[in-house]
Structure 1
Amino acid sequence: MIRKLLLLTAFLFCFINILKAQTQNGPAYLVKGVITDSVSRKPVEFATIGILDSEKKVVALTYSDENGLFKSPDIKAGSYFLNLSFMGYAQKNLAFNISSKSPVFDAGNIYLKPEVTQLNAVNVTGTRALVEQQPGMLVYNAEKDISNQGGTAADVLRKAPVLNVDAAGNVTMRGNSNLRILINGKYSGQMARSAADALNMMPANSIKAVEVITSPSARYDAEGAAGVINIITKKGQQNVSGTVEVVAGNLEQALNPRLSISREKWNINTTLHAHSFRNREETALNRLTFENGEKTGMVQQHIVRDNTKPHGSGDVQIEFAPDSASIFNFSVNAWFGKWPDNSAQHNQRFSANETLLEDFRQNVITRSPTLGVDLNLGYTKKFRKPGEELYIMAQHNRSSDGFNYDAMQRDPDNALLYREINDNKNLNREWTVQTDYIFPFGNSYKNAWESGAKMILRENSSDYQVAASGDSNPGQLVPVSSRTDLFSYKQNVFAGYSQLKFKWQNGWALHAGARMEGTYLEGNQRNQNSTFKNDFWNFVPSATLFKKLNANNNLTLSYTKRISRPSIWDLNPNVNAQDPKNLEIGNPNLRPEQVNQVEFTYALQTDSDFFLNASLFSRETTNSIESIVTIGPGGITTTSKQNLASNIQYGLNLSTSVSVMPGWKINSNANVRRARYRSGALNILNEGWAWGLNVNSSWKLPDNFSVQAYANYDGRNVKLQGFESYWFYYSFSAKKELPAQKLTISLTTVSPFGGYIGQTVVTRAADFESTLASHYLMRSVRLSLNWEFGSMFKTVKSRKVENDDQKNVKSAG
């Protein structure tokens, strides 16, 4: 399988190089320079650099990086104009020539004057594409998407390439939920608790871009088998700037103010988020049990969940630059919320001949509060050599979570049969210290050596107490000692990495490195007097080979190895029995899984604003952490994580963007993959195809109106013990901008032609088969008002701690 992929990769390399040889008509030359603010002498990032021919037509378009540096290779010999522009600065034009005698035009330092009248020069209308390709990643520029107004981060990730997000906000990449989600490159305690909840706590309008990193380099923690998602937020750049967003709808309401204060050496950004949303779903379960192939019984359930989940968060980021070579960063992020999972259940059990054996209703009242805080401190030192930098970062986060339920069962006559209370308190503490050093070398310092070290110290505890009634007196609660305990868990990680980055004039680039991580685990169950220890080291290599064929085409071939450590949610031995027919329990004996992945990517970006990214990938997972479902007496299933399987997946991802006509753009992402799951211990072999497609179409209309339509379809998805059926999601949006008032009004509706969106999950084993049909209330309308004062927002670029090293697939609630 992998050999076939490598052969196909080699074929594509040869094919595209032949195309390149046929289309080139002469040697290509390089244009480069550095864009600098004429007053502060600081680099200007994201400045637009247009290269125009003698007829004032754009032949190339690029942007300056965080150091103000821009490069544009593959320019033919001739006379050109260099047009430089950025909001808040005057445009600048420079004439230059390229010939065989001077194959490189180095414009040197180019100073842009801030806040002056624009020159009457050539107008270059170039904007960032909705999706861009970079080595090892795809970048989704979310601020360009009007349907993100008033939504949450979960809505944003639904539009990003390669990713899939279900109704609860659970994210997968190429069918794998084992990925790390960072905020501005830093780890978040919110994401560690529940990524789905954290995404619903983040307003979409605060997001500038999403980096989907499919092949993480050695700089990233080895955790995150599927890849890494980095959500980049906005911050102001004027003295005082900000926005206030108000969202009102039938399923959610939100208030999202942001404020930025900038001075000569200080930059302070604050965000607040107050949000409430309603989550309603209905599920119907039908489970058949077997023995020696013969039917022995049937379990049926009908469950209704209708919960309102209020929550909020706040963030303060302070940046102090005493001089041009030093930057100090401090940030604090706090969050709180209530995530109830109340349910009303009707449970029935039948014999083999469908005689009713059991019939009861159960009401479950849950309390799931959360409170947490992240503290970050960072220092950046820039040296005289361009690109040479030292980073020192520290982080502490602390959170407390509760998950308490009170379940009462009653017979058809409403008489109390059984009651159970489970009180589970979790405390999570973490300390991180990290340092990175970048040393550029070679001609123009275009090559670099990067190295770093990191230490993570984690302490988690789960104090759970269970009380239940007996058969003789259903109203009297008695402590259940066998299900009451204090589970404490420590996980210490020590890591170091080194990588080299080479870039050559002929368009080739190579990033290669390795990471070494040592993990020390220790767990203890106080009442059970049970302890365990597990120490291991992992060598994690990675490499990315990049070839820029010309100004519009490039190829990338990458290999990466990843690991996945179990999280506290996977290990916690507390039995979650709020659904009496479907129990969940952690497994303290879990070991990490390992993943090897190869990826080949072709990217095309034309001057006519057409974008295409095609990625072939193959991924093999050993010692895979999978949710294993087993069945016991009475048709009751127990789900826990086990290291009992391996899987191989390979497939193709396509992302494209095209301007059909002025003002009308269509973006689309498609994926198809083959998955093969195997478990010798369970005697399971399950394989099949999975595919998905989404289309996003937007129109810019006269008078500052815009409209957009979005649809996403995910086909049948194979799992170890069964499959998930298709999933369909769609929305429509309209936006009106009032530039004079700096006000934006957006209206979005989701699933207007069908109130509920359905999905079915089938789980099979030798002794049972379950079919769970779920319907989620998705029909919604939301109105968003966004008022902006001051200036536009730009990307947060301060470097933060990036803890992306734990596997967590805890669902919302």
Structure 2
Amino acid sequence: MKKLFLIVLALVSLKNYSQRPERPQGQPGEPIKISGTVLDKETGQPLEYATLVLQSIQDPAKVNGGITDIDGKFSVEVAPGRYNASIEYIGYKTFKVSQSTFNESVDLGTISLEISAAELEGVEVVGEQTTVEVRLDKKIYNIGKDITTSGATISDALNNVPSVNVDIEGGISLRGNENVRILINGKPSALAGFGSTDALQQLPADAIEKVEVITSPSARYDAEGTAGILNIVLKREKTLGFNGSVNVYGGVPTNGGVTVNGNLRTTKYNLFSTIGYRYREGPGNGFFDTRYFNSRQDAFLDSIAYDRNIEDRDIDRLDRGLNANIGMEYFFNEKSSLTGSYFYRTGSDEDVNTNVNDYLLNNAPQVGTTRRELETEEDDTHQISLNYINRFNDDGHQLTADFQYSVDSETGNSYINEPVRYNNTSNTDINIPREETSTIEDQKEYLIQSDYVLPFGKGSQFEAGYRGNFENEVTDYRLLQENDAGNLEVNLNQTNLFDYTQNVHALYSQYGSKFGDFNFLLGLRMESTQLKGKIESQLTEEELQEEFSFPIDTDFDNNYTGLFPTVNFIYEFNEMENVSLGYNRRINRPRGWFLNPFPSRSSRTNIFQGNPNLAPAFSNAFDLGYLKRWEKVTLTSSIYYQRETDAFQRVQEQVFITGPGGSQVEVVRNIPFNLATNDRTGAELGILYNPTKWLRLNSSVNFFSFNLDGEFNGVNYSQSNSSWFGRFSSKVELPWKIDWQTNAFYRGASDEVQGRSNGILSINLAFSKDLLNDKATISLNVQDLLNSRKRNGFTTTDFYEQDSEFQWRQREIRLSFIYRINEQKKRDRQNGRDYNGGDDEEGF
């Protein structure tokens, strides 16, 4: 079995990097073509990645061959001669071709392979484990059958990928850096949200086939994201006929949903669709103890003095969402096809935040309030995609063209009321004004892309392409506050309309080649960016500057062009060991909400305010990696260094804004700014260990440190910090076809710009059992078994210190049932699988 695997890998290498057999100029013997079709004898289904082996009888050291396509067809050009020919496929009996002399082109017809019972005992099942593949510019993690995410979301599944961390609020970071670009099937997509990751918390984890962790992106990819890129590749069935699955789940706290997948494939077209609905209640909580260095007065509290605020927060969160994707791929011929798809997502969320506040002076309670905030959000997203691909030959010569149009409409409202619970002061008539906010966001995005790939010579390849991204986002924000007469009136100082446009044109080319065991990929990408913003407000620029205490341009148009070189090397000691080195230059552009100077309110005295003066951040990064495989162990490791200039950083400061009746209200403002530099160094190590057929272990650890250097508004925020995170996963096959999986994650404590965060531990547990001849699976999983996924920390500024604890979502128990229609568990096809995304551009 092991020998067969090695032979197949060798043949794939020949397929990808070798030329056709050479012959002396002027001699007879034009190449001939050997073709045929390979099917499963029992089901009649085509076998993709089956291998034709052609071994020269005259010189047995010479081996040629090829692999079958998605329709089970192969076609190989060889020099005329005598060969020992065979058809091989893991888990099937080898078929020996009786013919040995090939002097002219021949069609071997249909070849049916029988399953080998003896070999099947040594065959791993795809989906039973997470595997890793290393390419010149990325690591590919095949998610496999991760039962801890059955019925969960894509965001949950990402938290099991090495190098990736999803925090308790859904924020995604790569190697501890939040400036990561999220792509779906290699392209920006409404499925990943418009600059946020909220949509990933609505889509089912079952849709993922693999995740590409691209820490040293080639020129083919966007230069956006200084941390790198996460490319989520979604599933698309390639088997002829109809197949599908139904996943139903439910649990506590109350959550439930259903996802239905369907796929009908013929020789001329492939119809695919996914429809999913989810309902999820997510209770959370928080505790904040803020101690001010000097007593302060709050205009909302009729200027009562206090020096301490204790806040106990309860969150009742309700998420409801429907998503649907339908599409068709039409095959013009064996080489070219056109795929069209339509994606729709709608969400209706409702959050109730209850904040019990106690205001103290010298530890004596002064006033107590209960602040209730109802937030509602309605979201509708539509996306239309077209993809054309023309494969000129089987060597990778191809042209692709993509068009994508996305539109999103989001309406959010909040209703805030804060009655007084008790009052121990002489002020007998304290009335905190009611507030209402309304936010309407309309977003549109166009994407046009074309890529051309030309292989030539021995293992060489040239690639070039263009991508245009055109985005527009209009945010209409309105704040209403209660006046002295008890009526709601518009606060003109903070009501505004922000029209933001980002247009990016990109051209790239890259060249890769192979010399013996040495591979390299060199590329250069040019991106021209236009950032435009227009603010409509009742205030003039001078009044805005006075209100927000920094210069504001209400109609800006910033243009800049950058060159982004990439260099990637791999040296293969053998098929089981290699070392890689990569360099890339990246950019981090400020998003619209980071530029909008009008504040959004997380509470009455805490606001987030964008900074329209933000400039893009640029980084230069180096990555050195090492991969080693043994029979039962796979080791991946890397060390990296990144220097980022004008890096974004958020700080808190004390400012005054205009409140009801024109009063000046003291608030804590969170605002991003351009730090001078951020030097980041780190190392990571991952180990996959399969000691026996019934036990699989997977662990990784990532250590990183960074040095910040910069100041804002006269305050120096320079600091050094180090932290780490690690994860461990084990899967045990118990008797009676029961699987037991445990995932543990720990993020170490770290120093922040203004304080310190404590470590976070999270453990997920799951059991599953296959039923009905493996056509169905029932799973029970527990998210955050110890209910310990809480963010604890300490913050200090020049005017207060704060201890805090925050839990976004409490422990969750979920039961799911999956039924597969003509979808049997697939055997491992890693021999020859295309991990470059060529066949995975569409699908859900």
Task: Note if contact 2:147-2:781 (Cα within 8 Å) is conserved in structure 1.
Answer: no
SS of the residue aligned with 1:417?
coil
The equivalent of 1:59 in structure 2 is none
In structure 2, relative to structure 1, the CA distance for the partners of 1:433 and 1:416 (3 Å cut) is same
What amino acid is the match of 2:487? Q
Q: Which residue of 2 aligns with 1:418?
A: 433
Query: Partner residue of 1:757?
Result: 789
Q: How does 1:635-650 map to 2 (within 5 A)?
A: 636-650=667-681
Distance 2:316 2:819 in 1: 33
Give the C-alpha shift of residue 502 in structure 1: 0.7
Quote the Cα distance in structure 1 between the aligned partners of 2:106 and 2:579: 31
Query: Which of the residues 464, 477, 487 maps onto 1:451?
Result: 464
Which residue of 255, 260, 265 maps to 2:263?
A: 260
Give runs of aligned pairs for residues 175-194 of structure 1, distance below 5 A: 175-193=176-194
**Cα distance change of structure 1 residues 205 and 113 upon mapping to structure 2, 3 Å threshold:** farther
- Counterpart check, 1:619 vs 2:642: yes
Q: 2:618 aligns with which of 567, 585, 594?
A: 594
Contact 2:528 2:559 (C-alpha < 8 Å) held by counterparts: yes
Structure 2: which amino acid aligns with 1:434?
Q
Q: 1:232 to 1:643 in 2, by over 3 A?
A: same
Q: Secondary structure at the match of 1:224?
A: coil
Alignment-derived partner of residue 536 in structure 2: 526
**For residues 114 and 165 of structure 1, do their structure 2 counterparts lie closer, same or farther at Cα, with a shift above 3 Å needed?**
farther
Check whether the contact 2:358–2:365 (CA below 8 A) recurs between aligned residues.
yes
Q: Does the C-alpha gap of structure 1 residues 130 and 143 become closer, same or farther in structure 2, counting only changes over 3 Å?
A: closer
Partner of 1:463: 476
Q: Give the equivalent residue in structure 2 for 1:383.
A: 392
**Given the superposition, is the C-alpha separation of residues 110 and 656 from structure 1 closer, same or farther in structure 2, using an over 3 Å criterion?**
farther
- Bigger drift between 695-704 and 407-416 goes to 407-416
Moved more, 480-489 or 185-194: 185-194
How many residues of Structure 1 are paired with residues of Structure 2 in the alignment? 737
In structure 2, distance between residues paired with 1:43 and 1:562: 43
Describe the SS at the equivalent of 2:236. strand
Other-structure match for 2:89: 85
**Letter of the aligned partner of 1:690 in structure 2?**
S
* SS state at 1:341 partner: strand
Equivalent residue number for residue 123 of structure 2 = 125
1:14-163 correspondence to structure 2 within 5 Å: 32-33=14-15, 38=37, 84-85=88-89, 91-92=94-95, 117-118=114-115, 125-126=123-124, 130-135=130-135, 136-163=137-164
Cα distance change on mapping 1:339 and 1:566 into 2, 3 Å: farther
Q: Indicate conservation of the 8 Å contact 1:168/1:196, yes or no.
A: no
Amino acid at match of 1:598: F
The Cα of 1:50 is off from its aligned counterpart by 11
2:507 — aligned with what? 496
Residue pair 1:241, 1:789 contacting (<8 A) in 2 also? yes
Moved more, 415-424 or 316-325: 415-424
Matches within 5 A, 1:317-716: 317-351=327-361, 353-356=362-365, 358-384=367-393, 386-412=395-421, 416-443=431-458, 446-470=459-483, 472-473=484-485, 475-504=486-515, 506-527=516-537, 528=539, 530-606=554-630, 608-632=631-655, 636-681=667-712, 682-716=715-749
Checking the alignment, whether the CA contact within 8 Å between 2:287 and 2:804 is kept in structure 1 is: yes
Counterpart residue number, 1:782: 814
How far 1:697 moved relative to its partner? 0.5
Counterpart CA distance in 2 for 1:731 and 1:384 is 47
The residue identity in structure 2 corresponding to 1:732 is L
Q: CA deviation at 1:379?
A: 0.9
- The corresponding residue for 2:29 is none
Cross-structure match for 1:283: 286
Deviations 1:782-811 (A, max 9, x none): 111100011358898546599xxxxxxxxx
TM-score norm. by structure 2 comes to 0.81
Shift of residue 710, structure 1, vs aligned partner? 1.4
Q: Which runs of 5+ in 1 are unaligned?
A: 1-27, 53-61, 71-78, 96-107, 803-813
Q: Deviations over 1:31-87 (max 9, x none)?
A: 7359987179x99655589999xxxxxxxxx996989999xxxxxxxx999873268
Contact 1:90 1:112 in 2 (8 A): no
CA offset at residue 677 of structure 1?
A: 1.7
The SS at the match of 2:144 is: helix
Alpha carbons of 1:482 and 1:171: their partners in 2 closer, same or farther (altered >3 Å)? same
Larger relative contact order, structure 1 or 2 (CA cutoff 8 Å, min sep 6) = 1
Pair 1:436–1:239, CA change in 2 (3 A): same
Deviates more, 1:663-672 or 1:403-412: 403-412
Counterpart check, 1:228 vs 2:229: yes
Q: Is the 8 A contact 1:49 1:85 kept in 2?
A: no
SS of 2:14's partner is: strand
Taking a change above 3 Å as real, the CA distance of residues 110 and 449 of structure 1, as seen in their structure-2 partners, is farther
Report the equivalent of 2:201.
Answer: 200
1:648 to partner: Cα distance: 1.2
- Would the alpha carbon gap of residues 66 and 758 (structure 1) be closer, same or farther in structure 2, given more than 3 Å must change? farther
CA drift of 1:581 comes to 2.4
Query: Following TM superposition, by how much is the alpha carbon of 1:233 offset from its aligned partner in structure 2, in angstroms?
Result: 2.1
RMSD over aligned Cα atoms: 3.5
Match status 1:299 vs 2:309? yes
Checking the alignment, whether the CA contact within 8 Å between 1:48 and 1:86 is kept in structure 2 is no
Amino acid at match of 1:627: R
- 3-state secondary structure, aligned to 1:235: coil
Q: Which amino acid aligns with 2:262?
A: L
AA of the residue aligned to 2:205: A
1:739 is displaced (CA, Å) by 4.7
In structure 2, what is the Cα distance between the partners aligned to 1:180 and 1:642?
A: 20
Q: Is the 8 A contact 2:339 2:842 kept in 1?
A: no
Identity of aligned residues (%): 25
Distance change >3 Å, CA 702–CA 238, structure 1 → 2: farther
For the structure 1 residues 43 and 589, does the alpha-carbon distance in structure 2 shift closer, same or farther, using more than 3 Å as the test?
A: farther
2:267 aligns to what SS in structure 1? coil
How far apart are the structure 2 equivalents of 1:30 and 1:550?
Answer: 14
Residues 777 and 486 (structure 1 numbering): CA distance in 2 closer, same or farther, change over 3 Å? closer
Q: Secondary structure at the match of 1:218?
A: coil
Change in Cα spacing, 1:66 to 1:534, as seen in structure 2 (3 Å) is: farther
- In the aligned structure 2, how far is the partner of 1:384 from the partner of 1:704? 44
TM-score by length of 1: 0.84
- Which digits, 9 at most, give the CA deviation of each residue in 1:337-393, with x for residues without a partner? 123332111233444x34555532211011111111111111111214721111111
Partner residue, 2:300: none
Query: Which SS does the other structure have where 1:154 is aligned?
Result: helix
Alpha-carbon distance between aligned partners in 1 of 2:109 and 2:678, rounded to the nearest angstrom? 54
Moved more, 669-678 or 787-796: 787-796
In the other structure, the counterpart of 1:271 is: 274
1:290 shift after superposition:
3.5
- State how far apart, in whole Å, the 1-side matches of 2:286 and 2:53 are: 56
Please state how far the C-alpha of 1:266 moved relative to its aligned partner.
0.4
The equivalent position to 2:318 in structure 1, one of 308, 311, 323, is 308
Other-structure match for 1:10: none
On the 8 A contact 1:37/1:43 being kept in 2, the answer is no
**Residue identity in the other structure for 1:442:** G
Indicate yes or no: 2:213 matched with 1:238: no
Which has the higher Rg, Structure 1 or Structure 2?
2
1:121/1:92 CA distance change after superposition, 3 Å: farther
When structure 1 is superposed on structure 2, of 479-488 and 553-562 the one drifting more is 479-488
| CA distance in structure 2 between the aligned counterparts of 1:348 and 1:791, rounded to whole angstroms | 58
**Rounded Cα–Cα distance in structure 1 between residues aligned with 2:652 and 2:447:** 36
* CA pair 784-47 structure 1, distance change in 2 beyond 3 A: farther
